[in-house]
Structure 1
Amino acid sequence: MFAIPTLVSLFLLAVPHVVYADPCVAFDANFNLLTFGLNGKDWNAGTQDSWTSGSATDITASGRPPFDGANTTCYLAQFFNAVYVLNGDKSNPSNVHIYDAAAKSWTTQKTNLNNLDLSTFVTILDHDTNVFYGLSQNNLWFLNMGEQKAASSSALDWTNAETSPYGADYQPTMALAQNHVHFIGTPGTPAGSAQIFVIHFSFFQPQAQAYSGATFPASHGQATSFFQDSGVQQEFAFIPDDFSDVYVINVETNTTATLAAPSSKDTKARYAASITALVQLDSSGAVSFIPYKQGDASTNSAAKWASVANIAAAVPASSASGSSATGTSHGSSTGAPAGTRVSGTSTATGSSASSTGSGNGAMSTAASFGTIAAAVLSVLASLS
């Protein structure tokens, strides 16, 4: 008769190694659509004209992070054709992983957190200065990435710049346009308005900026910036948690227009934008997009969301993602608004996830209890 430790050992031998992933989506400087961490691999879907047919290209390379952090975020540094990944390695959350899109190679940049609490951190990457700005426990922090498309030998410092005026209970939704950080849903700010931090003057504007046109809600959501042919970003998309619409805010004209809300009403999704499209990666691993043409209300009102079919062909959503009671979570396990790290050039929004919360982290391997039990019983039968 087998002792309990022997049975336990057999049970454990039957359990495959399960790796939870927290994938993200971004563009490179040529506006090829990149997804990282889907089914344990990274993929290039090409430019927008190729998304609806064929199959995405596997670009998985050595040195990549495991994409197992509780709050993994990806950002395009357009001038350097590099993608920066924050919190992509649960074991080393202070590391910034850098993907050189031209060389298709990874390096790891060490940073000093200096008491920065990453569990509550929400960030944007400023397009022109290549500096991260983020809010954690009502403190504004920054990290200067310089001109890096590969890691340097010296650690970089996160610096606590100042305290924000929005209070510790504010669940940040942050967006970037024209070197200004826009905070949506701050306490006391009316719908259709945003509070602003001016990057070049390190200055919180005392009055909210109002926008005419469609009125976006004063609520939590996600945001990401559209690129421009000129290189200067002047619009961002705001996707509120109620999915009433996608609101496109233009900070040059101080106006708001709308796009259709995504088909997947997933507050754990993350987003990226190019010049002519907004992309969603939802927590099932499905990638979809809606085309966009700046200033063309008629075209935009008729636009519809569609699957990025070549990613679906390479990585079906059912195999790209799963759920687990102990997996990483895209949202909060404490009842706060579900947070989403917005990928691409500009923003990461929402309340940060807890690394112990239940969630919908993508899994590279999965096994059911019934399969494991059957394997154990089979071994026992062969030895009886």
Structure 2
Amino acid sequence: MPSTLRLSLSASAALVAWLASSAAPASAKPCVQFDASWNLYAFGGTEDVSLGQNTTWGSPTASPLTTTGRPPWTGNNTQCFLSQYNNAMYVLNADASNPSDIYVFNFDAKSWSKQATSSAPDLSTGTSILDHDTNVFFTLPSGSSASLYQLDFGTITNAASSSAAAWEAVSATSFQQGGQGAVLAEASNHITFFNVPNNPAGSANMFVVHYSYFQPEAVAYKTVNNAAANFPTQHGKAIGVPTTDNSAGDVMVFVPDDFSNSYVVTHWTSPSTAGQTSDAPAGIADYINSTQTFSAPTSHDTDSSYAASDSAMVQIDSTGALYYVTGAFGNGWQVPSGLSWQKLGYTLAGVTSTGSSNSSSTSSSTAASSSATASRSGAASSGAAAASSSAASKTSSAGASAGSAAASASASAKTGGALRSLNGLEVTLVSVALSCFGLALVF
């Protein structure tokens, strides 16, 4: 092959790569989170922003946050957690190149820091929770033989330390996971595991954090307050709902991949006596181990992320569109009827859909919808479940300290995504440009 032709092909290939990298939008995994004063933040796009209180969300003023030290938001399983005691946000799996690093955002100082960890499990699969009282992470990667892990952030609070924090294996689970893995959330310092195979609808396994113990049998939840149904045994997303007084929350919201409903799941157990419920707070007795429902989120996107304040819930989908519902919590554990999702008057720019299973919005509460693909997985399976496994206590109580965190993201460009995004006239122009470029080098 003539050297001039080889040069032209090499130069053309280089131009293709350059065009792809410069034309591709950011490939980010966005998330939303609240600070301890219930201001909303959105992360993972071209910039990270503060969106204020829920009274402004119809037409919010988006205030950009610092880009110094922000994560690249390239992980495929990013999760953001509020440490309410410390007014900080912790971000897991935000950097695909360094998946064990955890980013800390101080909401008070509006600053980022990065915490190194060691002996980390696979954070690219499964889900995690942050225990409210101890500031300890618990993570369960997907896989039938996966064990529960923990990471103590009790001394890290709202800024990273100079030494690596070590993950520890806690215990094998009392159940086997299915293909997509269990979905974790926390209420009353108990980790609830949704999507455990063979559990009937409305049943979930539990791990008691303060005793480091898997309960031997799945817990059955009753439906109350005219719930449309009980939560299905399938994959989805789950979050804990924080409280106004910064005590351990008793409420979780589970959004299954079929978007049948938003399931509000309540659990309470005495923090001092395992399994004791006789001294429950006033008004919660009828709601212990119960399920209520309200409408499914607006965007039927399984790549959505969620956050809750003491009264509101927010969804951000994989296109950066935001939706919210207010008044869902803080009503003496009763979920009001007729709740509807609304479109938040801001879309996080620079976010591209991951293209994994999701579908377009079908909610009638808003005219706004988010486009996505139509395949979703997960079907409810019936049966009985659970065996038992206790573990040595590994958690340590962390004192409450004031501080802060919140966060977000620059993202890497993807060559394939950029080329796919070029179409029609753009492709023609690029092809002509490449041809001319090659001919110029030949001659």
The alignment's TM-score, normalised by the length of structure 2, stands at 0.72
What does 1:356-371 align with in structure 2 at a 5 Å threshold?
368=422, 371=426
The answer as to whether partners of 1:45 and 1:56 remain within 8 angstroms in 2 is: yes
Counting matched residue pairs gives 346
What does 1:99-114 align with in structure 2 at a 5 Å threshold?
99-114=105-120
* 1:216 maps to which of 231, 235, 240: 231
**What displacement does 1:230 show?**
2.6
Larger radius of gyration: 2
What does 1:149-298 align with in structure 2 at a 5 Å threshold?
149-169=158-178, 171-213=181-223, 214=227, 215-231=230-246, 232-252=248-268, 253-254=287-288, 255-291=290-326, 292-295=328-331
Please tell me whether residue 44 in structure 1 is matched to residue 50 in structure 2. yes
The alignment's TM-score, normalised by the length of structure 1, stands at 0.82
Distance 1:376 1:86, change over 3 A: same
**What displacement does 1:12 show?**
3.1
Give SS of 2:337's match: helix
The answer as to whether partners of 1:61 and 1:104 remain within 8 angstroms in 2 is: no
Higher relative contact order (CA 8 A, sep 6+): 2
* Range 21-30 or range 151-160, more displaced: 21-30
**Please, which runs of 5 or more residues in structure 1 have no aligned partner?**
326-334, 339-359
Per-residue Cα deviation, 1:107-152 (whole angstroms, up to 9, x for no partner): 11000025x2223332111111110001124200000011421110
Identical aligned residues as a percent: 36
**Please, which runs of 5 or more residues in structure 2 have no aligned partner?**
269-286, 357-375, 380-413
Alpha-carbon separation, structure 1, partners of 2:419 and 2:71: 17
Please tell me whether residue 26 in structure 1 is matched to residue 33 in structure 2. yes
Please tell me whether residue 133 in structure 1 is matched to residue 166 in structure 2. no
Match of 2:9 in 1: 4
Letter in 2 for 1:73: Q
Alpha-carbon separation, structure 2, partners of 1:381 and 1:47: 55
Distance 1:159 1:296, change over 3 A: closer
Please tell me whether residue 320 in structure 1 is matched to residue 351 in structure 2. yes
* Range 166-175 or range 241-250, more displaced: 166-175
Distance 1:91 1:296, change over 3 A: same
Distance 1:201 1:364, change over 3 A: farther
Distance 1:75 1:7, change over 3 A: same
Per-residue Cα deviation, 1:151-199 (whole angstroms, up to 9, x for no partner): 1011000101110011143621111011000012323322222211000
Alpha-carbon separation, structure 2, partners of 1:240 and 1:9: 44
RMSD: 2.8
**What displacement does 1:251 show?**
1.1
The answer as to whether partners of 1:284 and 1:320 remain within 8 angstroms in 2 is: yes
Distance 1:377 1:233, change over 3 A: same
Per-residue Cα deviation, 1:223-267 (whole angstroms, up to 9, x for no partner): 111111232201011111221111111213322211111121122
Per-residue Cα deviation, 1:261-320 (whole angstroms, up to 9, x for no partner): 1121122211111111111111221110111143479972211100111x23xx36xx53
Per-residue Cα deviation, 1:1-60 (whole angstroms, up to 9, x for no partner): 75322322333343343442111111111111111112x211111111111113311113
Alpha-carbon separation, structure 2, partners of 1:276 and 1:246: 15
